[in-house]
Amino acid sequence: MQEERAAVAEQQAGAGSAPQQGVKKHHGFSGKIGFVLAAAGSAVGLGNLWRFPYLAAKYGGGIFILCYIILAATVGITLLMLEIAIGRKTGKGVLGAFAALNKKFKWLGFLCLVVPVIIVPYYCVIGGWVVKYIVAFLGGASGLVASGGAAVDTDAYFTSFIADPWQPLLFFLIFAAATIFVVVFGVQKGIERISKVLMPLLAVISVALMVYVLCQDGALEGVVYLFTPDFSQFGYETLLAALGQLFYSLSLAMGIMITYGSYMKKDVSVPKSSLQIAICDSAFAIVAATIIIPSIFAFSASSDAAQNALGTSGPSLMFVQLPAVFNNLPGGRWIGAAFFILVFFAALTSSISLVEAIVAVLRENLHLKRWLSCLIVFGLVLVLGVLSSLGFGVLDGIHLELPSGASYGILDMFDYLANSILMPIVAICTCILAGYFIDKNLIPDEIGLQKQGMRVYFRVMVRYIAPVCMAIILISGIVFNLILPPL
């Protein structure tokens, strides 16, 4: 733990503050693989597994995937490189990083810190549901897993589970404790070590599940549906959905990439690592869609019924529709267990990164020990997470009714505030800071952009294209949820 701080201090020296005497040359991540796997672990999460497949199904299959890949390769990688470079250049957590670049932007650090503070608690609540489903599938829970031809109502099972006053809290506690447990061990011994184990495992389980699903009768129809570009469905909604997903999926604007960047060695290439993170994230999203969509097609009575089932996203797709699908596949109990283990690993590496973004600030700015910082974050997660969890049970009377007709429970409110409002604002302000308020060579030099063309491209992206894209997300997020019904 001391070593990471030494690394941070040493890098601060590189960012222009007085060189620190006697600081050992150590860094957070041991090298490139550790950094890329941890950052990819952060990016690959619930967003890939429950959001991407649903969006791909809704917005024209192949055409959505194509838009997503093009946007990831342009706007996505630019923002990734920018955040990683800000972290590495300043060597600071999110609170100090913006202030180190320009004192007038200290407030942006606070705003950015609020994002993981809001997200981690409810992310751990959903992580808890995932743990419950692993246990239920492994144990063959009678209300969830069909046995001997008896039909089960997966909707009723899920609804009664989340409304239970104690069970979701217990599983939430388990997930939150697992997250904190890894972070207590530090960057190299905790985060890097677990990412090096879980990311390859994630790849093995997801590819195995994909192959299994593709071998089922009727699955091919789903593959055709998923990958055939339906140009008639192409419109600004497709672009908007792809852009929103990109941002969510790459863990941008929540301080994570800045924090991880501050632990990155100077000799690791920022462009190459960013490319690898984006490829890894997109590949997982596409594999997840190739598991989920064909399995729904294989199980549904008709292609219309399959498309109806695909009309749902989020919790309901993952905890209601998919378990029903697994029940109809041979060996469904084990497929279900394997699938939820996959989701668990993906969610764990993401929540670890969210927690580390907060822990880094507590250690750096309040000079607290790592274990104490973790304890404080754990307390915070418990308080806010309990509220989100109880929002489906005891507190389900608390709802925000919007003029658009949408009604948000506590978890939805946190999600909306973080993803649709704060994150786009943070991303826009980050681009404005980097594009207009610091030396124009600072970030391109840190990234290591050699060619003049690349520097111009990066500058145009950061100054004009990325902020405009983010502004569109912000405005549409406000208009299409608060005022008009969601798209």
Q: Does 195 sit near ligand PFF (CB under 6 A)? A: no
Q: Does 316 sit near ligand PFF (CB under 6 A)? A: no
Residue with tokens 């050699």: 450
User: At its nearest, how many Å lie between ligand PFF and the CB of residue 252?
Assistant: 8
Q: Which is nearer to ligand PFF, 46 or 413 (CB)?
A: 46
> Alpha helices of 300-369 — where are they, by DSSP H?
303-309, 314-316, 322-327, 332-365
Which pair of structure tokens corresponds to residue 173?
A: 């506690």
Specify the stretch interacting with ligand PFF by CB under 6 A; choose among 13-21, 46-54, 186-194, 446-454: 46-54
Q: Which is nearer to ligand PFF, 201 or 305 (CB)?
A: 201
Tell me the CB-side half-sphere exposure of residue 251, using CA atoms within 13 A: 36
Q: Does 420 sit near ligand PFF (CB under 6 A)? A: no
Within 334-373, the residues that bind ligand PFF by CB under 6 A are 350
Site string for ligand PFF, 64-103 (x = CB under 6 A): ----------------------------------------
Comparing CA positions, the residue from 183, 115, 162 lying closest to residue 425 is 115
Q: Which is nearer to ligand PFF, 119 or 317 (CB)?
A: 119
Q: Which is nearer to ligand PFF, 364 or 415 (CB)?
A: 415
Q: Does 317 sit near ligand PFF (CB under 6 A)? A: no
User: At its nearest, how many Å lie between ligand PFF and the CB of residue 245?
Assistant: 9
3-state helix, strand, coil in the chain (%, to 5): 75, 0, 25
Give the residue, chosen from 7, 119, 180, 466, that forms a contact with ligand PFF under the rule CB under 6 A: 119
Specify the stretch interacting with ligand PFF by CB under 6 A; choose among 45-53, 177-185, 205-213, 324-332: 45-53
Within 10 angstroms of residue 225's Cβ, the number of other Cβ atoms is 21
Q: Is 401 strand, coil or helix? A: strand
Give the residue, chosen from 6, 7, 40, 46, that forms a contact with ligand PFF under the rule CB under 6 A: 46
Q: What are the residues whose beta carbons fall under 8 Å from the beta carbon of 69, sequence distance 6 or more?
A: 282
User: At its nearest, how many Å lie between ligand PFF and the CB of residue 333?
Assistant: 26
Give the residue, chosen from 273, 274, 282, 419, that forms a contact with ligand PFF under the rule CB under 6 A: 419
Give the residue, chosen from 28, 34, 41, 47, that forms a contact with ligand PFF under the rule CB under 6 A: 47
Q: What are the residues whose beta carbons fall under 8 Å from the beta carbon of 2, sequence distance 6 or more?
A: none
Nearest-angstrom CA–CA distance, 318 and 292: 9
Q: Does 129 sit near ligand PFF (CB under 6 A)? A: no
Q: Does 251 sit near ligand PFF (CB under 6 A)? A: yes
Q: Which is nearer to ligand PFF, 141 or 380 (CB)?
A: 380
Q: Which is nearer to ligand PFF, 129 or 248 (CB)?
A: 248
Q: Does 54 sit near ligand PFF (CB under 6 A)? A: no
Q: Are 273 and 32 in contact (CB under 8 A)?
A: yes
What is the CA angle 347-353-354, rounded to 5?
Answer: 90
Q: Are 414 and 119 in contact (CB under 8 A)?
A: yes
Q: Does 248 sit near ligand PFF (CB under 6 A)? A: yes
Size of the site for ligand PFF (CB under 6 A): 13
Q: Does 118 sit near ligand PFF (CB under 6 A)? A: no
Residue with tokens 């960047």: 261
Which pair of structure tokens corresponds to residue 329?
A: 């596949």
Within 10 angstroms of residue 34's Cβ, the number of other Cβ atoms is 23
Specify the stretch interacting with ligand PFF by CB under 6 A; choose among 13-21, 23-31, 71-79, 244-252: 244-252
User: At its nearest, how many Å lie between ligand PFF and the CB of residue 120?
Assistant: 8
User: At its nearest, how many Å lie between ligand PFF and the CB of residue 190?
Assistant: 18
Nearest-angstrom CA–CA distance, 64 and 53: 10
Q: What does 421-476 look like in DSSP terms, one character per residue? A: IIHHHHHHHHHHHHHHSS-TTHHHHHHT--SHHHHHHHHHIIIIIHHHHHHHHHHH
Q: Does 249 sit near ligand PFF (CB under 6 A)? A: yes
Q: What are the residues whose beta carbons fall under 8 Å from the beta carbon of 460, sequence distance 6 or more?
A: none
Residue with tokens 């990109």: 246
Which pair of structure tokens corresponds to residue 328?
A: 């109809």
| DSSP category for residue 400 | E
Give the residue, chosen from 268, 418, 443, 462, that forms a contact with ligand PFF under the rule CB under 6 A: 418
Give the residue, chosen from 123, 260, 392, 408, that forms a contact with ligand PFF under the rule CB under 6 A: 123
State the residues that interact with ligand PFF by CB under 6 A. Answer: 43, 45-48, 119, 123, 248-249, 251, 350, 418-419
